[in-house]
A = this chain, B = another copy of it.
Amino acid sequence: MPLIVQKYGGTSVASLEHIRRVAERVAKTYDQGNDVIVVLSAMAGVTDGLINMARKITETPEKQELDVLLATGEQTTAALLAMTLKAMNYPAKSLLGFQAEVLTDRAFGNARIMDIGASRIKDLVARRTIVVVAGFQGADADGNITTLGRGGSDTSAVAIAFAVKADMCEIYTDVDGIYTADPGICKKARKLYTVSYDEMLETASLGAKVLQIRSVEFAKKYNVPVHVRSSFSEEEGTMLVNEATNMEQPVVMGVTCNKNEARITLKNVPDQPGIASKIFSPVAEAGIVVDMIIQNTRSEGLTDLTFTVPKISFKDAMEIEKKVAAEIKAEDVFGDENIAKISVTGVGMKSHSGVAATMFSTLAAVNINILMISTSEIRISCVVEENYAELAVRVLHTAFGLDKEEHAPV
């Protein structure tokens, strides 16, 4: 009998009425002759509400206790869904993280899964019971409750799918799949019916917030079949696949846009060994994640150094760097919040030259100035002025042959 893992996100379980609809979809899948394991997030907004409550106690609530608090969110939805299924006369049972034997490390608030025993899940499934697992949570070796970080239920689902050798891991969310670009920006964007794990990794980290990036890493590592689809429709969504299965991969799979970063430039930094460490260590210590870094050597042993940080960390990072600049005798520090990072991604790029050239010339043709460039094996990103972000997405979408008119869905 096929075994399906279905994961429903916070917007899909936002109310009792939503939960009833999820129960109907689960029941339908079960009635079609599948074994079903459901993995749930907390109701939309609940996790943030709990964090805000904890912050009223102290600005920095202890992480271990915060995890105990946050774990109630998924416990609630798991109990409610199991209860709903039972009321519909389906055999169902909720399991919390520790009951599903989701063993994690001790990194409270952002724990990583070490192992999933899943013996109880398997026993229940063998008895044709629908198992409803509270996502996002696990327990460390001492039985302390841990949580997996924002979006962690995705990782719960993929890891459980691997542990039970599920035939499919369906991730239900409020979008109906992965698109070649944000349809809100680019009307010609079309849905992709397959995307490779690697492409998903590059786009997820760029702000296409459909899946927690760690869940994609996990799916790639263990080759877990993942299907991203909408809980509000019956349409097929997007399958995550190994690139090898996709013979006629187009060069570029999509164009993404990230407006959540700001850039900081240190001007005329004395170019000495160890200088980068002096600049970036204090930022890292403040818990600020630096994304792109560019260094241009200029004349007379001086260099300009530019990097990007999340917009919410911009002010903190600027303050830190002003102190650093004084210390290392850099001439000046300036920042810019009005930037956007435009990226084209595609595993096909590996074997095609000219993608970068096409990107640069396409942007130049509409007079968009490129402020920073960074590349990976399957991605090229350009930072541009924020005002030009949408235009950049649209012209690149056309230039790389992604527009709807030109490529009918498979």
Contact = CB atoms under 8 A, between A and B. Distances in A.
Tell me the interface secondary structure of chain A in the complex. helix
Contacts of A143: 98-99, 120
A76 B83 contact: no
Interface stretch (A60-68, A159-167, A386-394): A60-68
A144 B100 CA distance: 11
Interface in A66-118: 66, 68-69, 71-72, 75-76, 78-80, 82-84, 86-87, 92-94, 96, 98-99
A293 interface: no
A65 B94 contact: yes
Given A16-B56, A145-B96, A79 B83 contact: no
A76 to B, nearest CB: 5
A84 B69 CA distance: 12
Tell me how many chains of this kind the complex includes: 2
Interface residues of A, number: 37
A20 B56 CA distance: 11
Contacts of A62: 82-83, 86-87
A54 interface: yes
B83 A75 contact: no
A98 B56 CA distance: 28
A294 interface: no
A82 B65 contact: yes
A57 B75 contact: no
Nearest to A71: B75
